[in-house]
């Protein structure tokens, strides 16, 4: 980090944080502290929703995911626009008319307090665990840059986020997200420009796209149906739609964003904005990872991107085996580079047959290179390093080693600022549910506004400390973007199912809803334990089981119990 990088990083973060705190002044009651007084316009909510989801995991891990597996992860979001449209006509008007602080308040009015408490606890477990993963991502950044232990960097980032959230509340979070998204797009554009401009002079942008495609890194759409494939068109459209419905419709970290809207129309516009903008933004981020991949065709990447593991490997592995692996790796890199140049030369010569032959040779060279890299990871594991998954370090290595002064600070401001945005939103939502659905509902039912705001601040500090404590386990989870979505898929299907019952099946009563959630969660964990289906389908399975269980129980209930009516619908 050079002085220019530190200046840009600190200035960008200070701008985002201070602007948010300035806009949040005057938040004295619970409504202002948790829902920004329901004054947020659609564009602020829309950007806040995007910023909440776009954590440091998005930039660190998604770019690395594209580097190692191509762009097919973008299919994960194909169902999101459909989900946004559905939520505009279901959750948004129902929650607004109910005048609730949390989505789970609605469940008590529709069913009973037991169902509300069950789903609230499920949310607290799921989002609390995800918060640790979200916080660990910037710890990776600072560990790479500063060489500090990850526990120290986790503690620093957690402390800053807790202070910001505790002081500013929902209004500070919402307005700071606007500035964060501006910084985010500038940083992403700088990273892409640098990846392309740092290529050799004879490799044009079109050549870079061609090389990425030849290596299978532009595989944005996979039409083959496969239950066990995590990312294809069908799992993205259907499984992704169910996951997005659950995340944006039942997860308080997102529901709280559009509950802060000044009207139903403004909240709907915020979701429709995400329906239009989210997929292109994710495509753009993944494309950056593909261009970083092309950059490393010509600039030899390290055998392992985790430098501590690479140093340990060189020191502890048998030297004969280490030399053999590095020789295979160096040779595979040179052959892949030569094959890439052959493709570029053939493209410039306009010879289609030569391009086809060069692409075939390039494919062989890429497989040799991948095999040599896998041999290095296997040798590291054999030498006592444990399983090595360095996808989360690829983009950071590129940024810190090759970007010019100032650009490094800007990209790091994006990553660290995104973390501030996400974990602040998540801590605020955890505090909302803890106070409104648990503390205020079951422990202190009548107190003044000042008391509940004070408790909310204390609970925010608790969840920040919890995140710091659980973040250390994230290092064992491999790709962080996959880990956080897998974690959500364990719980979202059950949460979505109970809201489907609440919205659309008026004759299902409290007993059907409560046992439906439990059966849905049991079905999800059974799929995880005993089948190999991709995790996106867990959301479909869980939701369907909840609905079927609720309907079955309602059929055998007494007519009076089954016909319980929600006063909100009248």
pLDDT tens-digit readout, 63-78: 888 888 888 888 888 8
Mean pLDDT along residues 282-309: 88
- What letter does residue 533 receive in the DSSP assignment? -
Mean pLDDT for the stretch of residues 49-74: 76
pLDDT digits (tens, 9 = 90+) for 493-548: 899 999 999 999 888 899 999 999 999 999 999 999 898 888 888 988 999 999 99
pLDDT > 90 fraction of the chain, expressed in percent and rounded: 20
**Is residue 569 over pLDDT 80?**
no
DSSP state of 382: I
- Report d(CA 32, CA 21) in Å as an integer: 13
Res 258: pLDDT = 79
Q: Which residue has the tokens 């090759």?
A: 402
- What's the CA gap between 34 and 38, in Å, rounded? 9
The more confidently predicted of residues 404 and 175 is 404
pLDDT, position 450? 79
pTM score, two decimals? 0.77
Task: For residue 535, give every residue at least 6 positions away whose Cβ sits within 8 Å of its Cβ, in sequence order, or none.
Answer: 230, 485, 486, 489, 528
- Cα separation, 462 vs 470, in Å, equals 12
Mean pLDDT, residues 470-486 taken together: 68
Using a pLDDT cut of 70, give the percent of the chain over it.
85
pLDDT for position 549: 95
Q: pLDDT category, 563, cuts 50, 70, 90?
A: very low
Residue 487, pLDDT score: 80
Give the span between the Cα atoms of 143 and 159, in whole angstroms: 16
* Higher pLDDT, residue 391 or 289: 289
What is the rounded distance in angstroms from the CA atom of residue 27 to the CA atom of residue 471?
30
| Residue 145 pLDDT | 67
Q: List, for residues 229-279, the tens digit of each pLDDT value.
A: 777 888 888 888 888 888 888 888 788 777 777 788 888 998 898 888 888
E strands, 85-220, in order: none
Please report which confidence band the pLDDT of residue 562 belongs to, taking 50, 70 and 90 as the band edges: very low
443 pLDDT higher than 60: yes
Dist. CA 236–CA 105, nearest whole Å = 30
Asked if the model's pLDDT at residue 410 lies above 60, the reply is yes
Please answer whether residues 83 and 496 qualify as being in contact, where contact means their C-beta atoms are separated by less than 8 angstroms.
no
Contact (Cβ atoms closer than 8 angstroms) between residue 83 and residue 272 = no
> What single-letter DSSP state applies at residue 272?
H
Q: Are the CB atoms for 51 and 277 separated by under 8 Å?
A: no
Q: Are 388 and 476 in contact (CB under 8 A)?
A: no
Q: Which token pair is 290?
A: 């593909």
Write out pLDDT tens, residues 119-173: 999 989 888 888 887 777 777 666 766 667 777 777 877 787 777 777 666 666 6
61 is written with which tokens? 């891990």
The secondary structure of 282-309, three-state, reads: HHHHHHHHHHHHHHHHHCCCCCCCCHHH
pLDDT tens figures, 18-38: 766 676 655 565 666 666 556
CA distance 113 to 417: 38
> Closest Cα partner for 325 from 368, 375, 369, 365?
375
Per-residue burial over 438-453, b if 16 or more Cβ lie within 10 Å, else e, is bbbbeeeeeeeeeebb
14 vs 569: CA distance, rounded Å = 46
Lowest mean pLDDT, pick from 4-18, 79-93, 500-514? 4-18
d(CA 148, CA 237): 42
Task: Flag whether pLDDT at 561 surpasses 60.
Answer: no
Local structure of 420: helix, strand or coil: helix
pLDDT at residue 208, rounded to an integer: 92
Burial class (CB in 10 A: 0-12, 13-18, 19+), 259: buried
Given the structure tokens 């191509």, which residue do they identify? 70
What was the pLDDT predicted at 565?
Answer: 43
d(CA 523, CA 497): 12
């Amino acid at each position: 980090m050079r002085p220019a990088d530190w200046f840009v990083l600190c200035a960008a973060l200070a701008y985002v944080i201070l602007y948010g705190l300035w806009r949040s002044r005057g938040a004295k009651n619970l409504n202002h502290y948790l829902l920004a007084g329901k004054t947020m316009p659609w564009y602020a909510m829309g950007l806040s929703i995007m910023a909440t989801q776009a954590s440091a995991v998005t930039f660190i891990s998604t770019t690395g995911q594209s580097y190692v597996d191509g762009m097919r992860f973008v299919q994960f979001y194909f169902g999101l626009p459909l989900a946004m449209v559905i939520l505009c006509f279901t959750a948004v008007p129902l929650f607004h008319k109910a005048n609730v602080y949390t989505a789970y308040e609605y469940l008590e009015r529709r069913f009973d307090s037991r169902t509300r408490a069950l789903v609230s606890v499920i949310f607290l477990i799921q989002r609390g665990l995800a918060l640790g993963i979200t916080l660990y991502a910037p710890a990776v950044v600072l560990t790479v840059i500063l060489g500090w232990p990850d526990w120290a960097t986790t503690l620093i980032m957690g402390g800053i986020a807790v202070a910001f959230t505790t002081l500013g509340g929902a209004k500070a979070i919402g307005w700071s997200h606007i500035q964060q998204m501006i910084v985010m797009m500038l940083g992403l554009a700088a990273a892409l420009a640098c990846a392309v401009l740092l290529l050799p002079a004879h490799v044009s942008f079109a050549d870079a796209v061609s090389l990425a495609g030849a290596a299978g890194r532009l595989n944005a759409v996979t039409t083959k149906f496969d239950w066990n494939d995590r990312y294809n068109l069908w799992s993205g459209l259907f499984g992704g739609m169910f996951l997005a419905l659950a995340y944006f419709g039942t997860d308080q970290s997102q529901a709280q964003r559009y509950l802060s809207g000044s009207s139903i129309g403004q909240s709907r516009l915020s979701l429709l904005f995400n329906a239009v903008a989210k997929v292109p933004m994710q495509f753009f981020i993944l494309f950056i990872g593909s261009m970083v991949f092309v950059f490393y065709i010509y600039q030899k990447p390290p055998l392992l991107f985790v430098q501590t593991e690479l140093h340990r490997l060189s020191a502890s592995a048998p030297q004969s085996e280490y030399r053999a692996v590095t020789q295979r790796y160096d040779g595979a890199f040179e052959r892949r580079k030569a094959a890439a140049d052959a493709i570029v030369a053939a493209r410039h010569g306009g010879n289609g047959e030569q391009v086809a032959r060069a692409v075939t040779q390039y494919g062989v060279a890429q497989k040799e290179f991948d095999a040599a890299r896998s041999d290095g990871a296997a040798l590291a594991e054999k030498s006592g390093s444990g399983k090595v998954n360095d996808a989360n370090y690829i983009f950071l290595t590129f940024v810190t080693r090759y970007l010019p002064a100032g650009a490094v600070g800007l990209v790091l401001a994006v990553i660290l600022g995104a973390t501030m945005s996400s974990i602040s939103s998540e801590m605020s939502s955890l505090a909302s549910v803890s106070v409104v659905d648990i503390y205020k509902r079951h422990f202190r039912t009548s107190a003044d506004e000042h008391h509940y705001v004070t408790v909310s601040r204390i609970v925010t500090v608790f969840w920040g400390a919890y995140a710091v404590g659980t973040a250390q386990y994230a290092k064992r989870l491999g790709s962080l973007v996959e880990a956080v979505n897998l974690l959500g898929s364990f719980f979202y299907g059950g949460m979505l199912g109970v809201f489907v019952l609440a919205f659309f099946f008026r004759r299902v009563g409290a007993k059907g809803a409560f046992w439906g959630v439990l059966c849905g969660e049991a079905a999800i964990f059974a799929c995880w334990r005993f089948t190999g289906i991709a995790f996106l389908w867990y959301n479909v399975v869980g939701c369907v089981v909840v609905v079927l269980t609720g309907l079955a129980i309602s059929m055998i209930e007494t007519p009076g119990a089954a016909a319980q009516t929600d006063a909100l619908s009248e």
